[in-house]
Amino acid sequence: MTRVESMGGDTSADFTSGDGSGETLAPKPYVLSEVAGPLSRDELVAIDAWWRAANYLAVGQIYLLDNPLLREPLQPQHIKPRLLGHFGTVPGLNLVWVHANRQIVERNLNAVFVAGPGHGGPGPNACGWLEGTYSELYSHIKQDEAGMAAFFRQFSFPGGVPSHCAPETPGSFHEGGELGYSLLHAYGAALDNPHLTVFCIVGDGEAETGPLATSWHAHTFINPARDGAVLPILALNQYKIANPTMLARIPESQLLELIRGWGYHPHVVAGDDPAAVHQEMAATLEACLDRIAEIQQAARRDGASGAQLWPMIVLRTPKGWTCPPVVDGQQVEGTFRAHQVPLPEARTDESHRRVLEQWLRSYRPGELFDDTGRPAGELLMMVPSGARRMSANPVANGGGLRDLQLPDWRTYGVAVAVRGAAAHEATRVLGALLRDVTAANPTNFLTFAPDELASNRLQAILEVTGRDWQAEIGQFDEKLDRNGRVIEVLSEHMCQGLLEGYLLTGRHGVFTCYEAFIHIVDAMFNQHAKWLEASAQVPWRRPIASLNYLLSSHVWRQDHNGFTHQDPGFLDVVVNKRAEVVRVYLPPDTNTLLSTYDHCLRSKHYVNVVVAGKQPQLDYLTVDEAALHCARGLGIWDWAGNNDDQEAAPDVVLACAGDIPTLETLAAAAILRERLPNLRLRVVNVVDLMRLQPEAEHPHGLSDREFDSIFTKSSPIIFAFHGYPWLIHRLAYRRTNHGSLHVRGYKERGTTTTPFDMVMLNDMDRYHLVMDVIDRVPTLGTAAALRQDMVNAKLRARAWTREHGADIPEVADWTWPG
């Protein structure tokens, strides 16, 4: 390991400190020093010119409305009224980009760039403009003076592009907003992409987040024969927004030990002398990429042989490197104060404006752009060709998505000779379908689980593959496999992030998780959904495969694990997102789960949330019926009601969504049919929750006319719902009959008990549903005898659980009496 000593492990001591007098100092133009290294003088000059140009273009984006080439002294009207953006991280991003370009050209690398500190959007934007991609995608932003002016103006400007890396950013498949997911996206992109190199910059602040801290281990799933490589570059600029970072303030020896413990060989590049850092970075990148090539060649020749010590880089350079060192008497360059806009008063304060101009001129734009504003030839020579440009690599734009090869889901269906008589574990049957999907799509389909694949009954997949694992394999381990197509790691963050990276680069996958613990990735779901929403508005962005969740071990059947494991609230989070991208399905039985999942695997650019139980559950619909029911998304189960003449409104509608609510609803319907044969009863089952929303709100929404015809305009609706009951109200509040809608669901009453006690605790049991009907159908009067029987039945069932520790047989063994 070599390092440049000029900055060492020290923090900001090498910089001129502000003396408190309020002065603002401009950066001085620098001369490239003579430092030995792999770069010839010409190469050094060209690399540095790119770096200066990209930094210039970044400062221009943050500040300038006009006068992009400084043809006249900067005036207030040249400066944006609202100065938005983050400069501090930009020089580091640009440095990595240009050095990566040198390697892309030399090695003909197929590479993409992930900016962990994606708040530095001006950096990748600038590189995309220098590479010409910006002009190809946005025709008004040419590589000339007017184009540069438009490029500057649109940044962080109403009607323009966001301040962070976003779907609008050429070459980015990583949203730069919520920190923590860069390495996971990088590793997800590398999976099954054997010829891809991912340069992944990790912010040292970002590295403090939980998801990032666990991400270092993701190479456990990288098979160097099958997968591409990730080169992590820890941008140790020592600060985050307002504080030093933890990794910057531990002794370097400890940091290096930590990195080795994560399974990487660290290379430190440190300093603040541009020429020295360029030489060091060039030498280090060469060494890292040589090592990656060696690892890959050996594995591709001899087969994957276990854990590798992958190279990684620690880049210790000043935050805000090259910006004004001192502003209003305070040290800015090399401190947290460089995080955003170093000269916040540039429009209104003349001294700030003067220093801004000196700062821009310190990059010597006259050498970087010709008279028309086009990048100078020296810069263009640094640009890889066509799709080799990281800003234009198709991997970062949907990755050439191919549809999955899917078997006919109907052949996995279960026979239903008698409704509601036999039971199946729905997810186990789905496992057989997913097994064959895995086998038929050996390079573009993966299943992710936080150690719950078998627990959620999907173990059939392991009949055709194993669990991806490149670390040591022990004698008693099961189904660990260097080429495994299942990734199991007890980190919901890792499952989600790796799958996102995999999807964003054009592949398919499933994430199966306990329902309660999917909340761990609420925020990641939010960000991914935002990416889908925003990218759908960007004309050149291609759609990606949907993110498919299979949530099992759900609230109603976590009776054995207890209260901590009972939470259906992810659905509430999901429906916050725009209707165009979210879908929620609650298939009531095995065949409907198969049909639903077939649909999800074919769909694009959605988040599909499917909740399905893993315990034996009665089968209600044949394969053909399930196909129809799922296509409609909801429907009247006339066999379960007794309102044959559907022209006449029923006395009551029993609606249900979810497997356990469907069971309780059918059991309630059976009691009502027997005890109140004159009651006109309609049973409606909802698979696709979004059907409840108005059609103006969601593409799946029912028209008011259809809704009224199914749920009636005025009959009471007793709705048994899988999740928190208020979600149904939220979706249906505008419907004509909302005033008669009465929803039962999970109201946060849970513990370790029996399955039926769980529904009783939440008043969603069959007996309670019957009482709800009695209470809400005016023509029934008090139905006192039936009501009392229901109270008794509930008390009996409760007492039985207390005495026997199990559910009463009349409930546990119940089948549809039809």
Ligand X SMILES: Cc1ncc(C[n+]2csc(CCOP(=O)(O)OP(=O)(O)O)c2C)c(N)n1
Q: Rule CB under 6 A: which residues touch ligand X? A: 88-89, 117, 119, 177-180, 203-206, 209, 235, 237, 239-241, 245, 319, 339
**Residues paired with residue 307 on neighbouring β-strands, in sequence order:** none
Shortest spacing between CB 126 and ligand X, in angstroms: 16
Cβ neighbours for 393, distance < 8 A, ≥ 6 positions apart: 110, 111, 112, 171, 387
Q: In the bound complex, what is the minimum distance in angstroms from residue 112's beta carbon to ligand X?
A: 19
d(CA 472, CA 220): 10
Q: Residue 573 in contact with residue 450, Cβ under 8 Å?
A: no
State the minimum distance, in angstroms, from the CB of residue 330 to ligand X. Answer: 18
- Number of residues this chain uses to bind Mg ion (CB under 5 A): 4
Q: Which is nearer to Mg ion, 145 or 204 (CB)?
A: 204
Helix, strand, coil percentages (3-state) for the chain, rounded to 5, are: 40, 15, 45
Crossing angle for the helix pair 426-440 and 590-602, nearest 10 degrees?
30
- Cβ proximity to ligand X, 96 vs 655, nearer residue: 96
Nearest distance from C-beta of residue 179 to Mg ion, angstroms: 10
Joined tokens for residue 815: 């089948």
Among residues 133, 193, 209, 237, which is the contact residue for Mg ion, using CB under 5 A? 237
> Among residues 119 and 226, whose Cβ is nearest to ligand X?
119
179 contacts: CB under 8 Å, gap ≥ 6: 116, 117, 203, 205, 206, 209, 212
C-beta of 206: minimal distance to ligand X in Å? Answer: 4
If binding is defined by CB under 5 A, does position 333 make contact with Mg ion? no
Cα–Cα nearest to 746, from 766, 721, 778, 769: 721
Closest CB 174 distance from Mg ion, rounded Å: 17
CB of 90 to ligand X, least distance (A): 9
Closest C-alpha among 468, 623, 38, 472 to residue 275: 38
88 touches which of Mg ion, ligand X, none (CB within 5 to 8 A by kind)?
A: ligand X
Alpha carbon 301 to its chain centroid, in Å, reads 35
Q: Dmax of the chain from CA atoms? A: 98
User: Which partner, ligand X, Mg ion, none, binds residue 182 by CB below 5 to 8 Å per kind?
Assistant: none
Task: Kindly state the DSSP code that residue 686 receives in the 8-state scheme.
Answer: E
> What is the C-alpha separation between 25 and 451, in angstroms, rounded?
56
Q: Which is nearer to ligand X, 99 or 319 (CB)?
A: 319
The nearer residue to ligand X, 9 or 117, going by C-beta atoms, is 117
Task: Look at residue 229 and give the partner it binds from Mg ion, ligand X, none, a contact being a CB closer than 5 to 8 Å depending on partner kind.
Answer: none
H or E segment and range at residue 58: helix 41-63
Answer with the entry of Mg ion, ligand X, none that 241 interacts with (C-beta below 5 to 8 A by kind). Answer: ligand X
Please choose which of ligand X, Mg ion, none residue 641 contacts, taking the beta carbon within 5 to 8 angstroms, the exact cut-off set by kind.
none
* Residue 209 contact partner, candidates Mg ion, ligand X, none, CB within 5 to 8 A by sort of partner: ligand X
558 binds, among ligand X, Mg ion, none (CB under 5 to 8 A by kind): none
Cβ nearer to ligand X, comparing 88 with 375: 88
Residue nearest to ligand X (CB): 203
Q: Select 247 or 718, whichever has its Cβ closest to ligand X.
A: 247
Minimum gap (Å) between residue 270 Cβ and ligand X: 15
Nearer to ligand X, 246 or 631 (CB): 246
Q: Which does 339 bind (CB under 5 to 8 A by kind): ligand X, Mg ion, none?
A: ligand X
Instruction: Identify the three-state secondary structure at position 468.
Output: strand
Residue 635, beta-bridge partner list:
685
Q: Closer CB to Mg ion, residue 332 or residue 760?
A: 332
Partner from ligand X, Mg ion, none contacting 635, C-beta within 5 to 8 A by type? none
Tell me the C-alpha distance between 389 and 100, whole Å.
10
- Binding partner of residue 500 among ligand X, Mg ion, none, CB cut-off 5 to 8 Å per kind: none
For the four alpha carbons of 222, 227, 231 and 232, in that order, the dihedral sign comes to negative
Among candidates 554, 38, 560, 553, which has minimal Cα distance to 276? 38
The 3-state DSSP class for residue 170 equals coil
3-state secondary structure of 259: helix
**Which lies closer to Mg ion via its Cβ, residue 177 or residue 205?**
205
Least distance in angstroms from the C-beta of 212 to ligand X: 9
Beta strands 652-657 and 110-115: pairing type?
A: unpaired
Asked if 267 contacts 280 with a C-beta cutoff of 8 angstroms, the reply is no
Q: Which is nearer to Mg ion, 203 or 750 (CB)?
A: 203
Task: Give me the least distance between CB of 326 and Mg ion, in Å please.
Answer: 20
Stretch that binds Mg ion, among 35-43, 231-239, 527-535, 704-712 (CB under 5 A): 231-239
CA angle, 678 then 682 then 688, to 5°: 170
Nearer to Mg ion by C-beta: 317 or 393?
A: 317
The H-or-E segment that residue 320 falls in is none
**Euclidean distance between CA atoms 74 and 817, whole angstroms:** 84
Q: Find out whether 626 and 597 touch, Cβ atoms under 8 Å.
A: no
Answer with the entry of ligand X, Mg ion, none that 178 interacts with (C-beta below 5 to 8 A by kind): ligand X
Cβ of residue 646: shortest distance to ligand X, in angstroms? 52
| Residues 185 to 214 in contact with Mg ion, rule: CB under 5 A | 203-205
Per CB under 5 A, residues contacting Mg ion are 203-205, 237
